[in-house]
Structure 1
Amino acid sequence: MLAINNRKGMTLIEIMIVLAIIGGISALLLPRLTGSMDKAKVKETKIHMGQISNALQMYYTDCNKYPQTLEGLTTQDPNCSNWGPEPYIKNIKDRWEHDYVYELNGSEIHLKSYGKDGREGGSGYDADISLDDL
């Protein structure tokens, strides 16, 4: 009889080598990918802060005052007859899903995101972002 060596599939060693190569490539690319994602979130937060600033100006135009909290942009103010009918903005969280810091001093508004870590101060992607940074 003639023996035919018909080999189908891969051996365990070959599979482990492929997985090691994929793991090595992933280990090299993962830090760059997460850094790019954080950089994008900083840019998105700045854009979103600009949108909130515009919504605050529209609210001021309609109600002749700024809201006491950012929730005033999403839910109707009973003290403003010109509010709505749609919310001025739907999302009032930064791109890390942290609340913005909103302060109203008379007619002066301050809006800030505490960055990736959600705490005041920091550097890099943890740095605070304010309207002045736009």
Structure 2
Amino acid sequence: MKMRTVRLTDTTGLHSRDQHGFGFKRTIVLVAMLGLLATLFTLKITSGPEEVKRVAAKQDIAMITKALMLYHRDNGRYPTQEQGLRALTEKPTSDPVPFYWRDGGYLQRLPTDPWGNPYRYLNPGVHGEIDIFSYGADARQGGEGDDADIGSWE
């Protein structure tokens, strides 16, 4: 009787040389992950919760600005001061009624700033054609540090 040799193949994708060490690619991925964790840890230590809120407000303002730009592109104008930012979630009924309004609106919902206050909208703006802003932590115009206004003009 003749014996047949059966060769098993590695179905895990690992090669015998990888079983003895990490391998170059794995080392690079590990170093990148450790760098990311170190960066996040450093940011957590160096920036307080108010700085995180200011960054979140800037991101919200950028998102609202993009939605307003789409509204302007579709209708040739921004919502009026009276229509306000609500025109991004609900079709305005006051003049000028938009010629085109996207099903579902331009935003799913209007965010509030990280301190729980609505974002402000000026048309015409003081700093540009339109202004979108938050009054910051103190919810009052002006201020310094954590209380400083955050706006689309920054």
Please give the TM-score of this superposition, normalised by the length of structure 2.
0.59
Equivalent residues of 1:116, 1:127 under 8 A apart: yes
User: SS of 2:73's equivalent?
Assistant: helix
Q: For residues 146 and 113 of structure 2, what CA distance do their matches in structure 1 show? A: 13
Consecutive unaligned residues of structure 1, counting only runs of 5 or more, are 1-31
Q: Which 4+ stretches in 1 moved above 2 angstroms?
A: none
Alignment of 1:2-41 (within 5 A): 36-41=48-53
1:76 and 1:87 map into 2 onto residues whose CA distance is: 7
Q: Which runs of 5+ in 2 are unaligned?
A: 1-43
Quote the sequence identity (%). 33
Match of 2:145 in 1: 124
Identify which of 79, 86, 102 aligns with 2:121. Answer: 102
Matched, 1:48 2:70: no
* 1:58 partnered with 2:78: no
Q: Is the 8 A contact 2:86 2:110 kept in 1?
A: no
1:70 correspondence with 2:64: no
| TM-score after normalising by structure 1 | 0.67
Query: 2:63 aligns to what SS in structure 1?
Result: helix
Task: Name the CA distance, whole Å, in 2 between partners of 1:87 and 1:109.
Answer: 19
Q: Which has the higher helix share?
A: 1
Inter-partner Cα distance in structure 2 for 1:132 and 1:47: 13
The aligned length equals: 101
